[in-house]
Chain A
Amino acid sequence: MDQRNNKMGWLFTSPYLIYSLIFFFGPLIWSFFLSVTDWNLIAPTFNIIGFENFMDALKSPSVHSAFWVTYKFMLIFVPIVTVLAIAVAVLVHGLPRFKSLFLIGFFLPYLSSGVVSSLIVKGLLSYTSPLNVFLRKIGLDIDWLGTPLSALFIVGLILAWKFTGYYALILTSGLESIDKEVYEAAAIDGVTERQRFWRITLPLLYPSLYTTLILAFGVTFGIFTEVYQLTGGGPNNATNTWQMEIFKQAFTNLQAGYASAVALLASVATFISIFIIRKLLEIWGKRNGWV
């Protein structure tokens, strides 16, 4: 019986295993192979150059910027999206009816095209837009996308707008799963609204919050469309993300080997960062007794 179950288990997991072999493991091996060559995929000959591409990438200022820009985006995007998502989830959860309708409304930006939202923002921030004309009238002339800090904030805010509804959806399901009796007991004990949130809601929401935080940190390693459309990685590489750097090297400079090396470095940076972040979140949860 166990042997038969084993076979059926393998059979039913085989689509995913085959999928992973074809679309994950195969490309990974291929990418590693490319990264140790100077091949551009079309030349009839190429050289195995060892770790030269990795060494060049580690010395490259634009790769350095990609590394640091990710963490700068984290500092901007993660707190904003987390606070907004919690706020939306709590507000929607407290609604007497039409919860789903409101959630869908907040979720819509997630479905919208990054290209379209970026172009709209580009128009809003144009030098001649009503906003900027008004700001100049009161003495504020801001080069929104030409100043490193404001460019980072704008991209971070677009992403926060996009992901708030999605994370709020996850958090709302977390809130729904909290037993109402806990709140009733707290009410009998005379717990205030603020205490209720910090002492009951947040701890019991921790599993969902943990998921959204990990997802939010992960997003910062894959930022591309908004940066590509709005800043092209500038000014002075201030918004140059890993994906932007890989795109430039692979599809503009057509350096497949070097781009693969950068992509592998990006994967390592992502893996290590997410691992550390997970551990820190787990420590935070344990220290507070939430897990």
Chain B
Amino acid sequence: MIKKSLGVLLTAALATTILSACSTGQSSTGNSGSGGSSSGVTTIEFWAAPNPTQQAYWQEMAKAYESEHSNVKINVSAIKESPTSEASIQSAIAAKSAPTMSENINRGFGAQLADSKALVPLDTLDGFQDIIKERNMTNTIEPWKFADGHQYVLPIYSNAMLFGWRLDVLKELGYNEPPQTYSEIVELTKKLKDKYGDKKYLWAKADLADPTAWKRWFDFYMLYDAASGGNKFIEGSQFTGDQKAGEEVLTFVDNLRKESGLLARQVTDPFENGVGVFTDVGPWTFTTWKEKYPNLKYGENFTLSMPPVPDGMDPKDSKTFADTKGLVVYASATKEQQAAAIDFIKWLYADAANDAKWFEQTNLPPARDDLTTNDSFKAILDQQPELKPYAENVPNAIPPMDNAKYNDLQTIIGTEAFNKVVKGEISPADGWANMKKAIESALQ
């Protein structure tokens, strides 16, 4: 009898040990069941971008809001990046432990979530239109409207991606400012190669030959947005690419390759070390440069420009890609949480000083129409003049496609056209034709 009891006890102990090992040790942050509300206090789970600056900003804002709203508690934590932040959000939704809201959502992933009914259409929530009006972002948010007419993501920042130029090298070649058209750049490349041979390239970047989907935002799309005047490329499930603009972009890249101006190889910080004289630059780069490359000074040895345009186009009309991410509210949140979330956002963006603080702390231009005219941002732009061209071009920046298959579709741009042209494996016209065919097939 004792032995039997001992056996049962041992089995129970083993089972408990194994089951407890399955626990993550974390309490659930989910919204289901509890409703996120107790004792009249509504609790919001806010997932911030996984970088310390943004996390600190949201924690500060959450505390400030809580001090004025004792009925709401906002728990700010970073989105886990293992294996990717998107996969972490997907897992959380699948496990019914999604947060109330999160930032760091790009438009393509927003489309995937919206397609899966995981997001609340923000325009259906009371107070959303007030946010747009008070934050002065009517124009900036317009291209964010999804194919079904709803707004699922509220853009927080919009980086109008620019090209950086090594001004010191340009001056050595007899230029005081960057060339702006394709033929001017090809001409510059010839001079560069004549002077430096294999020591310098126009565009040195391993990503040019890498088919990873997001890498096309920072090469193909920047050039294509400029050449096409901001054509959306894909609208809903329709391929609407501008063939003339697309072929011109690929021909430009092909001409650079023919002049040995491209180096699609692994190089440590090629632009910073002067191996490449032209590259895409986002405003987040400047913080790194200040620490790692303090000798790089805006206006002295580097400058910024909008993407070059095909010959015959006015460079002043150039458009570019918007590296932009925003806020979403998850459909699994309770009505109380959704209302509290939108109220928090409304409170936050009612005061431009909060956007100014964001801009100052992160260098990421707030997604608003009045960035260059609102006095709240003047001091920041005066102090960091390299941020001015980003602020000026927010309205000229085109956000990513809102298609749930954006990863597949953008991989096709690389594998069928861009990467192959960079390597000289296909003609621009054939690359465009193959890419179009593959994209149309994937969209079906």
Contact = CB atoms under 8 A, between A and B. Distances in A.
Interface of A: 7, 11, 14-15, 18-19, 22, 40-44, 122-123, 125-128, 136, 141, 143-146, 232, 234-236, 247, 250-254
Contacts of A40: 90, 112, 116
A43 B267 contact: no
The dominant DSSP class at the A interface is: loop
B438 to A, nearest CB: 11
B41 interface: no
B407 interface: yes
B113 interface: yes
19 contacts: A7-B7, A14-B11, A19-B18, A42-B113, A42-B116, A42-B118, A44-B116, A44-B117, A126-B265, A128-B268, A128-B273, A143-B265, A146-B209, A146-B265, A232-B212, A234-B210, A247-B83, A252-B407, A253-B407
Nearest to B91: A41
Contacts of A235: 209
Interface of B: 7, 10-11, 14-15, 18, 22, 83-84, 86-87, 90-91, 93-94, 112-113, 115-118, 198, 204, 206, 209-213, 263-268, 270, 273, 275, 405, 407-408, 415
Contacts of B18: 15, 18-19, 22
A146 B86 CA distance: 28
Given A251-B86, A254-B112, A42 B267 contact: no
B22 A22 contact: yes
Contacts of B93: 41-42
A251 B87 contact: yes
Nearest to A45: B117
A15 B112 contact: no
A7 B204 CA distance: 68
A20 to B, nearest CB: 11
B14 A127 contact: no
A43 B117 contact: yes
A5 B109 CA distance: 57
Contact of B210 (A122, A128, A232): A232
A128 B267 contact: yes
A243 to B, nearest CB: 11
A141 B212 CA distance: 25
Task: Output the residue of A22, A40, A232, A235 with the most chain B CB within 10 A.
Answer: A40
Contact of A41 (B11, B94, B265): B94
Given A14-B14, A18-B15, A136 B22 contact: no
Given A232-B210, A234-B210, A254 B90 contact: yes
B11 to A, nearest CB: 7
Nearest to B18: A18
A40 B117 CA distance: 12
Nearest to A123: B268
A107 to B, nearest CB: 27
